[in-house]
Amino acid sequence: MDAPTLPISPAGRSDLTHHLHPYTQLRQLEREGPLVIVRGDGVNVFDEHGNGYIEGMAGLWCASLGFSEKRLADAAYRQMTTLPYYHSFSGKVPGPVAALVDKLIEWAPVPMGRVLFANSGSEANDTAFKLVRYYNNARGRPLKKKIIARNKGYHGVTMAAASLSGLPMMHQHFDLPLPDVVRVSCPHFYQFGLPGETEAQFVDRLAQELEDTIQREGPETVAAFIAEPVQGAGGVVVPPAGYFAKVQAILKKHDILLIADEVITGFGRLGQPFGTQVFDLKPDMITVAKMLTSAYVPMSALYVSDQIYQAVADASAAVGVFGHGYTYSGHPLACAVALETLRIYEDDRIVDHVREVAPRLQDGLRKFASHPLVGQARGLGLIGALELAADPAQRKPFEPARGVGAYFVRRAQAHGLIVRVLGGDIIAFSPPLVITEAEIDAMLARTELALADTWEWVRTWR
């Protein structure tokens, strides 16, 4: 059922010879060659042979305005011909930084004190990891350093961010996680709810686990809790009602910071500007990236509360300098593109558009819930997932070695749709925010074709 394998092109051959691909089965890639994408137009991308694909993942959850927004290209060109680079070290600042921090503070879902720029979500979360330590040292609490993170969480790939992430393949052979990272359960009721347990009981159990974990570690040693409002790479996990309310009550009781990882959910994906607003979070730090620039140039940011900023500023004054920063922190090109991206969100009412079209995606995915391969269809806003199962009624997954999710993704690609398989044969959807209802319908139609192909294949070996 797989599409015929085309000869590997010169570009693909060069790639295979010299490029070490991230998040790729490298030996399989050597056999099959890469899909070489050469052009984008709206929500579609095109390969070197002229084949078009609906990009159902917006790249990596990030190309919010699609792949051909001319306003962003023009903004980048203007900045490149005015001030292509400058830094923010030693009290200097490129002009666009000042405008961007003002705009980001306007967008902040809760009051925030300062914004610190980096280049990726990984770096933003790594910086949060460092600031947790700096802040507690500054407050005379040198033992309060541990960060609680969740199974199936995804926070990036630097040493610290990968340690915070709760996916085993990110730790194996890398000698991770680092010390002072403590793990608690993933709030995915479909996978981890006990027989006969209600969602409310599941939430109570996870809250008790968090409390017990803090008591076991010692509240005086636990500094922060990091969480994505909706877990992305861990399986598009939407937490049950009441989960975050109970978590935040426990954190407040023990003076534990909340870090909201909004790298995927920031800037409209869930139908609100931030997931923080959807789940009524009160974070002390917020990390953003991806849709900050519609991924047209790399950029991320870390929001910090004024309380954290004041402690950091006092401590750094005693040292003589705040000893952290990146060469490209607040790069003027990235700032110009981010500013234009935020203007487009406002001018074109992108968040309102997400609310308008999201029911088309969510209703369409839920129509697949009765398919014999689908254990659960879920999502929120313009993010969703189909969790494939060998026995949906029993929530029994396929054996990982079968590669059912990977097969589905190949069939979707053959039908002109790019989606992504996550651990546990979970098919993720996260299209550009500008997608129309007609384009959602086309995406769902191609999904149906891929499901039919996969079901036919599964039946051959059952």
Residue 219 has pLDDT above 80, yes or no: yes
Same domain, 335 and 421: no
393 and 432, same domain (yes or no): yes
Query: In this structure, what CATH number is given to the domain that contains residue 449?
Result: 3.90.1150.10
Please check whether residues 212 and 354 belong to one and the same domain.
Answer: no
CATH of the domain at 139: 3.40.640.10
Mean per-residue pLDDT for 433-460? Answer: 98
55/176 same-domain check: no
Q: Which of 321, 347, 373 is the last residue of a domain?
A: 347
Burial class (CB in 10 A: 0-12, 13-18, 19+), 137: middle
pTM listed for this prediction: 0.96
Instruction: Read off the pLDDT of each residue in 113-121 and give the average, rounded to a whole number.
Output: 98
What is the sign of the dihedral through the CA atoms of 178, 148, 308 and 268? positive
Total Cβ atoms within 10 A of residue 421: 19
Answer whether 236's CB lies under 8 Å from 261's CB: no
In a domain, 96, yes or no: yes
Task: Quote the domain boundaries for residue 224.
Answer: 72-347
- Residues 323 and 257 placed together within one structural domain of the fold: yes
| Residue 443 identity (one-letter amino acid) | M
Other beta carbons within 10 angstroms of residue 336's beta carbon come to 27
CA pair distance 283, 110, nearest whole angstrom: 8
- Residue-wise pLDDT for 303-352, tens only, equals 999 999 999 999 999 999 999 999 999 999 999 999 999 999 999 999 99
End of a domain among 347, 377, 399? 347
Number of compact structural domains in the chain: 2
Query: Is residue 379 located within the same domain as residue 454?
Result: yes
**pLDDT computed for residue 7 by the predictor:** 78
Domain boundary among 347, 375, 410: 347
- Closest to 302 in 3D by CA, of 92, 90, 125: 125
Same structural domain for residues 354 and 266? no
**Average of per-residue pLDDT across 357-379:** 98
> Would 3 be classed as within a structural domain?
no
Pair (139, 254) in one structural domain: yes
